[in-house]
């Protein structure tokens, strides 16, 4: 949980360590970025560094009594709020508010981390706003959220914003090879499909995922517009598998991207274990046709994210990518 162990977030970490060096600590911060890229870990690392009894440069030592309490989740000045069910409710914020009336118990700083702040309902948001308007001394409030537009603009404007970017997939793949012992090909494709979210990647069962991915790519490679029944069956099966629909579309996108890449820079192909099939498909199609197909997959992703009917959307997409 030290700054050094956070992967692929050099810019936010540099910003925070410089802030600690200058001892200019904003009373409220907002960490934005997709899930699983280290926002919450960094928030805890920052809290640990602020209260560490023997910091190494500006990073927490990880060993002193204060650090040990942060690691075990028992530090009384480190308050974490997260959604209960779908929302962060007013009562949760009120409980924080009560604690903030008193000075920090042990540390120099009290750190309030509000995870997934976009889950605050309006009442909870207004209660946080009240706290941000009159920030208590010695308190740092860190909100994490996917994007600033998910929060009230009045909250955003009171926070120092720190943007976290998706981790480059090569870095995620490296961690998967080292930590999970996955082979390079599986690690790379898994990292690409989880879009640089290390947290999501580590939560996936590598073996099950490989079976799913291989099956999906084999189908997309073998389907043909000349035999329409299997195409509809494929679209129907994808639409029914709601939890994996977005992942499946991402995977289909990497397929057409690879077939296109094969023409321009084959070294960038992601699904290298499907090289022969990718080369076959690439030979049969023009760059323009392939660009249209990538566009069709993208259109389907957009439509589904806007709650259009999945089966109909997928059928239309399949007609366009197979023609
Ligand atoms: Zn320490």
The pair of structure tokens assigned to 9 is 């977030």
Q: What is the pLDDT of residue 289?
A: 94
Q: Which of 110, 151, 134 is nearest to 25 (CA)?
A: 110
Q: How far is the CA of 23 from the centre of ligand 1 (A)?
A: 17
Q: How far is the CA of 140 from the centre of ligand 1 (A)?
A: 18
Q: What is the pLDDT of residue 28?
A: 97
Range(s) for CATH 3.40.50.300 in the chain?
Answer: 3-163
Per-residue pLDDT of the chain (323 residues; tens, 9 = 90+): 788 888 889 999 999 999 999 999 999 999 999 988 999 999 999 999 999 999 988 899 999 999 999 999 999 999 999 999 989 999 999 999 999 988 888 878 999 999 999 999 999 999 999 999 988 889 999 999 999 998 999 999 999 999 999 888 888 999 889 988 888 888 998 888 888 888 888 888 888 999 999 999 999 999 888 888 999 999 999 999 998 999 999 999 999 999 999 999 999 899 999 999 999 999 999 999 999 999 999 999 999 988 899 999 999 999 999 87
Q: In the chain, what's the furthest Cα-to-Cα distance?
A: 73
**Sequence-ordered list of residues with C-beta below 8 angstroms from that of 139, at least 6 positions apart, any chain:** 27, 100, 104, 109, 110, 111, 112
**Sequence-ordered list of residues with C-beta below 8 angstroms from that of 9, at least 6 positions apart, any chain:** 37, 38, 42, 164, 165, 167
Q: How far is the CA of 301 from the centre of ligand 1 (A)?
A: 46
Question: What is the sign, positive or negative, of the torsion defined by CA atoms of 287, 292, 295, 297?
Answer: negative
Q: How far is the CA of 19 from the centre of ligand 1 (A)?
A: 18
Q: What is the pLDDT of residue 4?
A: 82
**Count of beta carbons in the 10 Å neighbourhood of residue 54:** 10
Q: How far is the CA of 59 from the centre of ligand 1 (A)?
A: 8
The rounded distance, in Å, linking the Cα atoms of 2 and 57 is 12
**Count of beta carbons in the 10 Å neighbourhood of residue 43:** 25
Q: How far is the CA of 109 from the centre of ligand 1 (A)?
A: 13
**Count of beta carbons in the 10 Å neighbourhood of residue 58:** 18
The rounded distance, in Å, linking the Cα atoms of 8 and 95 is 35
pTM of the model: 0.78
Q: How far is the CA of 49 from the centre of ligand 1 (A)?
A: 7
Q: How far is the CA of 48 from the centre of ligand 1 (A)?
A: 7
Q: How far is the CA of 95 from the centre of ligand 1 (A)?
A: 27
The rounded distance, in Å, linking the Cα atoms of 80 and 114 is 6
Q: How far is the CA of 54 from the centre of ligand 1 (A)?
A: 5
Q: How far is the CA of 71 from the centre of ligand 1 (A)?
A: 10
For the chain, give percent helix, strand, coil, nearest 5: 60, 10, 30
Q: How far is the CA of 204 from the centre of ligand 1 (A)?
A: 32
Q: How far is the CA of 280 from the centre of ligand 1 (A)?
A: 58
Q: How far is the CA of 318 from the centre of ligand 1 (A)?
A: 56
Q: How far is the CA of 67 from the centre of ligand 1 (A)?
A: 4
Q: How far is the CA of 176 from the centre of ligand 1 (A)?
A: 29
Number of H helices and number of E strands within the chain? 15, 5
- For residues 97 and 139, the answer to whether their CB atoms sit within 8 Å is no
Question: Torsion angle, CA of 82/84/85/87, rounded to 10 degrees?
Answer: -70
Class for domain 3-163, per CATH? alpha beta
Q: How far is the CA of 93 from the centre of ligand 1 (A)?
A: 28
Range(s) for CATH 1.20.272.10 in the chain?
Answer: 205-322
Q: How far is the CA of 127 from the centre of ligand 1 (A)?
A: 32
Q: What is the pLDDT of residue 194?
A: 83
Beta sheet of 28-32, edge-to-edge order: 78-81, 110-114, 139-145, 28-32, 160-163
Q: Which of 138, 83, 85 is nearest to 114 (CA)?
A: 83
Q: How far is the CA of 45 from the centre of ligand 1 (A)?
A: 11
Classified as helix, coil or strand, 156 is: helix
Q: How far is the CA of 239 from the centre of ligand 1 (A)?
A: 50
Q: What is the pLDDT of residue 265?
A: 92
Q: How far is the CA of 92 from the centre of ligand 1 (A)?
A: 29
Q: What is the pLDDT of residue 182?
A: 87
CATH for the stretch 205-322: 1.20.272.10
Kindly write down the DSSP assignment for every residue of 159-203, as one continuous string.
SEEEEPPPPPHHHHHHHIIIII---HHHHHHHHHHTTT-HHHHHH
- For residues 7 and 17, the answer to whether their CB atoms sit within 8 Å is no
């Amino acid at each position: 949980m030290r700054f050094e162990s956070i992967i692929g977030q050099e810019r936010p970490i540099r910003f925070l360590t410089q802030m600690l060096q200058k001892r200019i600590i904003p009373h409220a911060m907002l960490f934005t970025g997709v899930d699983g890229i280290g926002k919450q870990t960094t928030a805890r690392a920052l809290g640990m560094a602020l209260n560490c009894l023997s910091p190494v440069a500006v990073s927490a030592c990880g060993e002193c009594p204060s650090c040990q309490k942060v690691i075990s989740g028992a530090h009384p000045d480190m308050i974490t709020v997260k959604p209960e069910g779908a929302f962060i409710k007013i009562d949760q914020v009120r409980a924080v508010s009560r604690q903030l009336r008193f000075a920090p118990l042990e540390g120099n700083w009290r750190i309030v981390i509000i995870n997934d702040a976009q889950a605050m309902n309006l009442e909870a948001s207004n209660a946080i706003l009240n706290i941000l308007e009159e920030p208590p001394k010695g308190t740092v409030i860190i909100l994490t959220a996917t994007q600033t537009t998910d929060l009230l603009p009045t909250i955003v404007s009171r926070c120092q914003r720190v943007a976290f970017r998706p981790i480059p997939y090569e870095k995620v793949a490296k961690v998967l090879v080292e930590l999970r012992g996955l082979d390079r090909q599986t690690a790379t494709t898994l990292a690409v499909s989880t879009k640089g979210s290390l947290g999501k990647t580590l939560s996936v069962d590598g073996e099950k995922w490989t079976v799913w991915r291989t099956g999906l790519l084999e189908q997309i490679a073998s389907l043909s517009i000349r035999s329409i029944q299997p195409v509809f069956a494929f679209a129907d099966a994808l639409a029914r598998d709601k939890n994996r629909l977005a992942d499946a579309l991402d995977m289909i996108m990497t397929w057409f991207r690879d077939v296109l890449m094969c023409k321009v820079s084959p070294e960038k192909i992601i699904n290298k274990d499907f090289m022969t099939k990718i080369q076959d498909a690439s030979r049969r199609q023009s760059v323009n046709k392939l660009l249209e197909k990538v566009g069709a997959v993208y259109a389907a992703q957009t439509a589904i994210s806007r709650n259009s009917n999945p089966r109909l959307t997928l059928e239309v997409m399949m007609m366009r990518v197979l023609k």
